[in-house]
Amino acid sequence: MRTTYREVNEDKFEVFVHHGMTKEMIGIVYRDYYRASGCKWTIEAHFMSLLADHEELSDLYFDSIEAGRILVAAWNRMRVATIREVTTEYDMDRLFGSN
């Protein structure tokens, strides 16, 4: 898995994750002028995140790369949780009956 950043302007970067043959924009990191006078970076996730990641995603960071790494880590945890949920073995015949 590879991460790339695309500069929108000097205060905002789009974060992309390359996995397999796909490239997915997972969010934006930008300087927060309202909470930190432009000195720190914040994260805008473009995916559903786990409740456990909420605090990390709402924190302020000193560097755009640091904020991007936190964003990618949260995206990866959500992806792993989703894969586990979908691939867990269920006995559907037992739950719903067989046709």
Sequence-ordered list of residues with C-beta below 8 angstroms from that of 74, at least 6 positions apart, any chain = 45, 49, 50, 53, 56, 57
Mean pLDDT over residues 61-84, rounded?
Answer: 90
- How many residues would you count in the chain? 99
Q: What is the pTM of this model?
A: 0.79
Per-residue pLDDT tens over the stretch 14-43: 999 998 889 999 999 999 888 877 689 999
Residue 94 belongs to some domain of the structure: no
For the chain, the straight-line distance linking the first and the last C-alpha, in angstroms and rounded, comes to 41
Q: 3-state class of 48 per DSSP?
A: coil
Residue 97 belongs to some domain of the structure: no
Q: How far apart are CA 83 and CA 27, in angstroms?
A: 20
Residue 99 belongs to some domain of the structure: no
Number of domains forming the structure of the chain: 1
Residue 23 belongs to some domain of the structure: yes
